[in-house]
Structure 1
Amino acid sequence: MNLFPKSLTKLIDECKSNDRKAQESLYKHFYAEMLSLCFRYLRTDELAKEALNIGFLKVFQNITAFEEIKGELGAWIRTIMVRTCIDLVRKELNFNIQPISAQEEEIFIEPTVLSKLYAEDLIKSIRKLPDATQLVFNLSVLDGYSHKEIGGKLNISESTSRWHLSEAKKQLRILLTPPNKQIDLPTENNNKTT
């Protein structure tokens, strides 16, 4: 369904009047995009669907506060969804991690590795990260928030945010490296001469 500006304005007005058909149309229009966003932030499909439903409930409860002059509806809904995901993740997170030192080097993931992955495979790899690390990675890399903004949203320091991003990159590099390309670390048995 394509929503043109005039029909979108009418749809928003109808949603503000609690019109169920308009709410259903709005839900259907943004469903796939917002569910995809929730899948990125949450570890399980069930939690992602829960976040989606809670988020849309918030949308409909607060749509009277939405003003078209101030921004685009999709961006407004996206902000609500991200905040809802953060709230769900935050319930179970523990950010008591040692902050990264300023001198620590950024971990690089080869673009060729990423280009070979399907989006679903990439999401599965991201979901394997610890909750706090996954959340910071999503906010920074996928949604473009700065470490200062992430710190403000999650009540953590910028250095803790940097640590989680660095840790995510390290872990993803391991997860995304094909098994035949992984380097074996020397062990005591490998160092003996025969």
Structure 2
Amino acid sequence: MSIFTKQTTKLLEGCKANNRAAQEALYKRYYADMLKLCYRYLKYDELAQEALNSGFLKVFQNIDSFDEQKGEPGAWIRTIMVRTCIDLSRKEARFNESISTDEVDDAIFVNPTVLEKLYAEDLLKHIQTLPAATQLVFNLSVVEGFSHQEIGEQLHIKESTSRWHLSEAKKQLKAILEPAVNEVNEPTENQKKST
């Protein structure tokens, strides 16, 4: 057993005993990763912080139900955070159930060179400009890998609505990203003179 695993087991035992120092240490250990996850799902800093704190509260309230034999604590905490973000996003997002599936275009293509030239932080900022419902569906589908059926079940929407939001996210991101790449690809004055 690695030192990290031993430390984590000790922290979990402390959390189960309602030891505040152990809870604080577990919080600090997973804080950065879980905050990044919350930012992927929620548009505003306040909402991300709210989800993070609500998620950790759920972790501590349900720590007795965690079984180390069935999985790794980081994955268990992550699942709680994702569900907390979904719940908060659902409150913020308004899903339009009357969207026609004729409007869905699954074949929207974003050139991979576009993504290579953007930093992850920039991409996250662009994703956060999407409407809340569209952003949520995009994250669940693209980042988390959920199917439209699973997204529909979690968000209480139709699969066609999930497909529309994903398509809309791709359209909007393509419109945002292509000009940024074109700027990067534009030759500078020095490059123009040398040719």
TM tier relative to shorter chain: 0.7 to 0.9
Question: Structure 1 residues 143, 23: closer, same or farther in 2, change over 3 A?
Answer: same
Match of residue 178 from structure 2: 177
Aligned residue type for 2:126: S
Q: What is the CA–CA distance in structure 1 between the aligned matches of 2:162 and 2:109, rounded to whole Å?
A: 17
The answer to whether the 8 Å contact 1:99/1:162 transfers is no
Moved more, 83-92 or 36-45: 83-92
Match of residue 136 from structure 1: 137
Task: Compute the displacement of 1:102 (Å).
Answer: 9.2
Question: Structure 1 residues 22, 106: closer, same or farther in 2, change over 3 A?
Answer: same
Aligned residue type for 1:170: K
TM-score (norm 1): 0.87
Q: What is the CA–CA distance in structure 1 between the aligned matches of 2:3 and 2:50, rounded to whole Å?
A: 26
**Alignment size in residue pairs:** 181
Q: What is the CA–CA distance in structure 1 between the aligned matches of 2:6 and 2:125, rounded to whole Å?
A: 39
Moved more, 27-36 or 111-120: 111-120
Task: Compute the displacement of 1:103 (Å).
Answer: 7.7
Aligned residue type for 2:151: I
Aligned residue type for 1:62: N
Question: Structure 1 residues 103, 47: closer, same or farther in 2, change over 3 A?
Answer: closer
Q: What is the CA–CA distance in structure 1 between the aligned matches of 2:46 and 2:89, rounded to whole Å?
A: 13
Q: What is the CA–CA distance in structure 2 between the aligned matches of 1:103 and 1:163, rounded to whole Å?
A: 5
The answer to whether the 8 Å contact 2:104/2:164 transfers is no
Kindly provide the CA deviation profile for residues 94-132 of structure 1, in whole angstroms up to 9, marking residues without a partner as x: 212414239844211111111111111111100110110
Match of residue 191 from structure 2: none
Pick the structure with more helix per residue.
2
Aligned residue type for 1:40: R
Match of residue 52 from structure 2: 52
Match of residue 28 from structure 2: 28
Question: Structure 1 residues 178, 103: closer, same or farther in 2, change over 3 A?
Answer: closer
Task: Compute the displacement of 1:178 (Å).
Answer: 1.8
Match of residue 72 from structure 1: 72
Match of residue 160 from structure 1: 161
Aligned residue type for 2:129: K
Q: Percent identity?
A: 65
Question: Structure 1 residues 105, 21: closer, same or farther in 2, change over 3 A?
Answer: closer
The answer to whether the 8 Å contact 2:141/2:147 transfers is yes
Kindly provide the CA deviation profile for residues 42-93 of structure 1, in whole angstroms up to 9, marking residues without a partner as x: 1111111111111111111110111111211111101111111111111122
Question: Structure 1 residues 122, 103: closer, same or farther in 2, change over 3 A?
Answer: closer
- Two-structure CA RMSD over aligned residues (Å): 1.9
